[in-house]
Every structure is written in C-alpha cells, then in structure tokens.
Amino acid sequence: MSILPAVAANEDTPPQLIGEFKPMDDWQVHLNALFYGLRAGRIGDYYPTMASADYRLAHALAVDFRDHWTQQKNLPPTLMVHEWGCGNGNLAACFLSHLKTLDAAGDLYRKIHYVLVDEQRDTLQAALAHPDLQPHRERVSTLQADVQDLSGLKDGSLHWILCNELWSELRTKILLRKEGEIIEERLQPNLSDAKYKQFDDWSAFVRAFAARDVAALRNGPSFLDEIIWEKDYQPVDWKRVPYRKTITDFMKPMDDLVIVPANFGAFATIKEARRLLASGGSFTALDAGTSDMDVLTDPDKPCYGLHGGQYTFIVNFALCETVAKQLGVKEVTVEQQREFVSRMLGVNLFTVMDLLETYPSPRQLKPWEQDRLALKTLKALDGRYRSPYSRTLDSPIRPGTPETERAELETILKGLPATGVPDTIAYLSEEEVLGAVTDLEALGFERARIQELLAAGARREIEYHRFSFLNP
C-alpha cells in the first residue's frame, strides 16, 4: 500500500480529539517541541545516534577537516566551526580531541572556535558538560537558535558546518501525486477513551497541548507515544511552500499515490549554509535516507517512523541535491557514511548492527533474546576492540525479560569494559571482527556470512549517507 490507513494502527476508534487536521510538518514541529521538552535527559532511551557514544565518525570528520584546511593558503585567524543539532556533545569532544592529536604543531587546533548550536537550552547545557569536552572548553561556545533561520549571523562568517542526524527531525512534508495534482499528508491527533479518563481536567490538557506548555504537561499523565493519528490527503497550499517547480518536476516520474518525503527543514539549512560559508568553507550533513530513485519510486519504502511519540523521516538526498544546485551549489557529494568513514580512517568498517544482521534469523528471536545476543556479541568483541575514550554502555534491560536472563544480562553489562564497544551502532573494523570470529561462532554466528559482510558490505534501501559541498 502506498497510502497509509486513515487511522494509525489502533483497533479503537479515536474518541477524543486533541487537535485539528494540519499538514504533517506542522504537527512534526509541534511534536518536536513537546518531545524535547518532556523527554529532556532521556533522548537516548528512544534512539541513540551514530555519534552519541562512538568515536570513529568524529575522527573521520577530524581527518577530513585537517586534510582540507592544511591545503588552504592564508588561513583566517579563527576557523569558525558550527555543529547544528549538537546531541550530547560526544561528536564535538571526539572531533576536537582527534584534531588536536592529528595537528601536532597546533596550527589548526589553536584557530578553532567550535560552536554548539541547538534550539533547546537544556540540550546545549548537557552537551557542554560532556566530560571529554572539558579539555577543549576554551575553544567551545554555544548558540541557542533555530538552524533553519540564522539571520543574526553574517554572510560568509563560518568555515565548517556539521550536522548529524538532524535533517530527519526537521520539517518534512509527505507528498504524492494524484491525477496530476500534488497532494500532501495531513494529520489529526486523538487519544483513546481510556487515556482520556486519566486526566482530571481534560480541557486544561487540550489547551496545554495546543500551547506546547511543557511545564503544565509534565505534571499530567504521559501521552506522547499514545497519540492516535488520523490521516487524510489534501492539495498542497503552494503559497506556504517554496520550491514548487523543483518539487513538481522531481515528482513527475512518480506513479500516482506513491508517498515521497520532501525535507523542507533540510532545504532551509542548505540555504543558510550556502549563505554563511566563507570561501573555501564546507558543509556536511549526515543522516539516514536514500538518493536512489528506484527506492524513492518504490511504493513500499519506509518514509517515517515514530520514536517515543516523535516523527522522524528518511532524508530524500536526491531532492536535497536538486534544491542545493538550484540554490547555487556547484557540486554536491552524496556517499554512504560507512564508505566515507572507512576512507578517512583507512580501515574497512561496519557497524555492530551490520554484524548482528548476519546472525541466522535474528528477527525470529524474542526482544529479550535479541538483547542477550547483542550484549554477548559486544562481550565477544571486547577482546579485540579498544576505544581511546571511556564510555558506559547505556542499555537498560527491557521489561518482559525473564528473571533468570535478566540477572545474566545485568552481569554481562557490569562486566563490559569502559573502553569496549560503546553501542550497538558503533563502527567496527574488519580486523576487530575477524579477531573475534571464533568467539562469535560460539554464539551461533556463521563464519561464511560474516566473511560475506566483510567482502561486500551491508546493503539496505535506507542507509546513512554523507551529504556535503564546498563553497569555492
């Protein structure tokens, strides 16, 4: 099916409206504000990012930065680096630490002013407090701002802009063609009758929800991940939507009723980056999505998901590239993130998740059995893997785990070294995997399938990519 059901998966008829029908991206912005306000300090419980614990992505970016700027003549006194959507600060900490190591003379490191940029003050404060960022504090500052509109910053004032897993959270419309007209997905939020009865003052809750009053909502029952979303489809209001011709032309090859993400927040950041970058500056966005038109035209492709009540979207890198060129970008690079990191670090890399997917029938395992396999895999790898940073694996034992197995998993967790594999989405080198093959086989992995992964790499329709361009 290319069009989703009228009501999100729920057997109940939604009895209580908490908002009106609006374009999906309007509700997405609304939910983002509530998600980050209500989940402050617990974002990692819902989806860890590639950069939140691992170090290899940051190290690859540091190598890329070093290689680029050492080739430039007449460096400015200060190299202004912005990280848009700074997460927990791990990317900045590992980037700066590795750059300092690479830059033995200190010529580049001393010039850096690294700015963490985010809309949420709590996020900025938490990122700034990252332990491994403290040795670099004199080089780091924060900016609370919406990266889609940085009109307060001067043209040509930045030299390097990074954003990691940001585009998937920014304003995105779901578009489709129907009888030659482009229509968009609209949403209306509801809560079940059972949830309705948990509120002492329903009207007050609805008003607080509409006003995005986090303080008021925090004192009531949880609700974000229990919203029932009713859907319909209406023509796009092009008076409110930029890039009409670009989008219309892009949609022409699409069959009727095939949904396509249009990442307008990403377009806005490209426009801002194009304006803000100085001559020789670079922009890099890292996120999950596709640039393959065969995938984009597939009616069964995944387009978005709900995580803890927040919508996140795949990135339509093909459309992002088209918009970038319309905005005057001469050349765009879109490549798999794994290939970029492997090239920069000079090693063949894979994620722990890639490795876990080679396990025979992993999806037939119960959730707690998947957790056990993941932890035992990390334990097997820890004999070969050594991180230059100390990290505690944040992997709470999920409800429903049998008591005996729970005790076993807790023991494994406590025994994992601080310099071991920091997360299931961390990068592993081919050498690290091969060194642990015997231990992995003892867990049920098959050597042939592991070797196939190492030779051919992981293949998915939706994959992490690096989108980048230089300002000549």
Q: What is the CA radius of gyration of the chain?
A: 23
CA angle 339, 345, 349 (to 5 degrees): 50
* Residues forming beta bridges with residue 288, ordered by sequence position: 464
Q: How far apart are CA 223 and CA 129, in angstroms?
A: 30
Which is it for the CA torsion 107, 108, 113, 116, positive or negative?
negative
The per-residue pLDDT of the chain, averaged, comes to: 92
What's the CATH number of domain 43-169+266-295+309-345+463-470, 3.20.20.60, 3.40.50.300, 3.40.50.10890, 3.40.50.150? Answer: 3.40.50.150
Per-residue pLDDT, 427: 96
Taking the CA atoms of residue 301, residue 306, residue 310 and residue 314 in that order, the dihedral angle to the nearest 10 degrees is -20
Per-residue pLDDT, 8: 46
Closest CA to 94 of 126, 32, 52: 52
CA–CA distances in Å: residue 299 to residues 112, 173, 249:
46, 16, 19
CA angle 227, 232, 238 (to 5 degrees): 115
pLDDT digits over 311-339, tens only?
A: 899 999 999 999 999 999 999 999 999 99
pLDDT digits over 23-48, tens only?
A: 999 999 999 999 988 876 555 555 56
Q: Which two structure tokens, joined as six digits, stand for 85? A: 């959507």
Q: Are 337 and 354 in contact (CB under 8 A)?
A: no
How big, in percent rounded to 5, are the helix, strand and coil portions of the chain?
40, 20, 40
DSSP one-letter string for 391-437? -----PPPTT--HHHHHHHHHHHHHS-TTS---TT-EEEHHHHHHTH
Q: What is the mean pLDDT of residues 446-462?
A: 92
Question: pTM for the whole thing?
Answer: 0.93
Q: Which two structure tokens, joined as six digits, stand for 73? A: 């003549």
What DSSP state is assigned to residue 262?
E
What DSSP state is assigned to residue 7?
B
Per-residue pLDDT, 42: 57
- HEC string for 336-391: EHHHHHHHHHCCCEEEHHHHHCCCCCHHHCCHHHHHHHHHHHHHHHCCCCCCCCCC
Per-residue pLDDT, 398: 83
Per-residue pLDDT, 177: 95
Closest CA to 358 of 441, 426, 438: 441
Per-residue pLDDT, 6: 40
Q: How far apart are CA 352 and CA 376, in angstroms?
A: 12
Q: Are 280 and 471 in contact (CB under 8 A)?
A: yes
Q: What is the mean pLDDT of residues 341-352?
A: 97
Q: How far apart are CA 464 and CA 123, in angstroms?
A: 23
Per-residue pLDDT, 44: 54
Q: Are 273 and 166 in contact (CB under 8 A)?
A: no
Which is it for the CA torsion 347, 461, 371, 92, positive or negative?
positive
pLDDT digits over 373-404, tens only?
A: 999 999 999 989 999 999 888 777 888 889 98
Q: How far apart are CA 291 and CA 302, in angstroms?
A: 14
Per-residue pLDDT, 97: 98
pLDDT digits over 109-166, tens only?
A: 999 999 999 998 988 999 999 999 999 999 999 999 999 999 999 999 999 999 999 9
Per-residue pLDDT, 11: 47
Task: Work out the pLDDT band at 1, boundaries 50, 70, 90.
Answer: very low
In this structure, which amino acid lies at residue 40? A
**Domain chopping of the chain, boundaries:** 16-42+173-259, 43-169+266-295+309-345+463-470, 349-456
Q: What is the mean pLDDT of residues 257-270?
A: 97
Is the pLDDT confidence value at 62 over 50?
Answer: yes
